[in-house]
């Protein structure tokens, strides 16, 4: 899974950091940044809570398809 932060939409409110402190932080301008490049399944709940908490919908989650051997 991959977390996307739309920097053009982020208003630097910090809701993502409060909801997902193991996933998100803020840069010097207050905008959201990831503290983990590839979050594992154990962080899914924090990511989903942060996505829901974002007042401007600047966060999204992309699921990666699992390749199967034929």
On whether residue 67 sits in a domain, the answer given is: no
Query: SS3 for 60?
Result: strand
Per-residue confidence at 69, pLDDT binned at 50, 70, 90?
A: low
On whether residue 65 sits in a domain, the answer given is: no
Q: Which is higher by pLDDT, 64 or 54?
A: 54
pTM of the model: 0.85
The string of pLDDT tens digits covering residues 1-33 is 899 999 999 999 999 999 999 999 999 999 999
Q: How many domains does the chain have?
A: 1
Per-residue confidence at 64, pLDDT binned at 50, 70, 90?
A: confident
On whether residue 29 sits in a domain, the answer given is: yes
Number of other residues whose CB lies within 10 A of the CB of residue 48? 14
Distance, CA of 66 to CA of 13 (rounded, Å): 34
């Amino acid at each position: 899974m991959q977390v996307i932060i739309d920097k053009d939409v982020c208003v630097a409110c910090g809701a993502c950091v409060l909801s997902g402190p193991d996933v998100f932080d803020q840069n010097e301008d207050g905008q959201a940044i990831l503290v983990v490049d590839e979050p594992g399944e154990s962080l899914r709940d924090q990511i989903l809570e942060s996505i829901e908490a974002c007042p401007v919908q600047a966060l999204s989650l992309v699921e990666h398809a699992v390749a199967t051997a034929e």
